[in-house]
Amino acid sequence: MIFKPKHTAGCLFVLLLLTPFHLHASIYKWVDDKGNVHYSDEEPENVQYADVQEELEKTGNFLNRKLVIYKRPKQVVKKKKDNTKSDLTIHFKTVGYSLSRADKDYLSKIIHVIYNKQEDFFHWIEADAMEITIVVTSDKRFYEKSWKEAKGRWKSPNGFYSHINNTAYVFAQPTKERTFSVILHEASHAILDTRVGWIPKWINEGMAEYFEDVVIKDSELYINLSPSRMRKLGRMSEDQYLDRLSKFLAIDNSIWYTTRNSDTVWGFYSMSWSLVYFLMSSREGQILLFELIEASKRNYGQIDSKAIIEQNYRGGYRKFKRDWLKMVNGLLDSYQ
């Protein structure tokens, strides 16, 4: 569902709220033949438009939530020997695609901050050093071959992570901004797979979706609600996915790999993002997310998410669902 505010002033207000603070992002503005003003982060075709991103950035108006990792009860905080260094090394490779030195530096900086934030959340201070290789390609044959060699269970047209060689493969997207988002998504998978291991698919994909939306400012991460993310959230509401939470939480990991309906898979990803976004937005939510992941690690990914929510969320599952729906509807109300 694409929201189109009827009045220019209202549309501009919404855009000012939702404009992403992103080094490479663009926001396009155009007027259709009926005089309606439109904004999008996707470049329009066959119409005159203006890139107003730089103009809007000067206003400083962004709907970005700063990522805060809350201390859990009874958590012993260990101090790193050197807080300025990360034990993560990132290697970039390209096949038929070009990443400038500035691109690599920018992506590397964000991935390191993501890694450090996840380290604070999962508390893996004693872990060994980690290396990730990220391959970006526009060569479809190379991408297909890499997927087969990785023995992937479900082939994504955008990217995948192979635990066999600890490599994230990204297929070049129509825009650099979208390619960067996929890189951050797959880098998150690499970190989670290596450092955490067994977690439910909805949490794994939800966290990858969550971290692909991050932007960086003054070495801090902000979760950016881009227009495209809000459109996905609106479509999820329109298609009544919000009414299927109980069934969604009970979906076995294998269903993700055997489902071939693209709309169903798309719905899985949007639901996952909304749940992780909700859980990461509060201390209580982060504690619950940690409990879900710890239970999953003990049971090799097989858990009853609804039962754990019932036991660990104040007010139980019903209160959890009400609070989650309130958040989703609040975001949609702010966008319309």
- Give the pLDDT confidence of 39-68 residue by residue, as tens digits: 565 677 777 777 655 554 443 333 467 788
Q: Mean per-residue pLDDT for 3-10? A: 37
pLDDT at 78 over 60: no
Question: What b/e sequence results for 176-213 when a residue is b if at least 16 CB atoms lie within 10 Å of its CB, and e otherwise?
Answer: ebbbbbbbbbbbbbbbbbbbbebbbbbbbbbbbbbbbb
Give the model's pLDDT for residue 144. Answer: 93
In whole angstroms, give the CA distance from residue 296 to residue 245: 19
Indicate the average pLDDT of the chain: 79
Would you say 214 and 222 are in contact if contact means Cβ atoms under 8 Å apart? yes
Give the model's pLDDT for residue 57. Answer: 44
> At residue 24, what is the residue type?
H
The C-alpha angle 111, 115, 119, rounded to 5 degrees, equals: 170
Q: Which residues contact 151 (CB under 8 A, 6 or more apart)?
A: 164
pLDDT at 83 over 60: no
> At residue 237, what is the residue type?
S
Give the model's pLDDT for residue 120. Answer: 85
Greater model confidence, 86 or 80: 86
Bridge partner residues of 66 (DSSP): 222
Q: Indicate the range of 144-148, 281-285, 298-302 predicted with least confidence.
A: 298-302
pLDDT at 20 over 60: no
- Domains detected in the chain: 8-62 (no CATH), 65-335 (1.10.390)
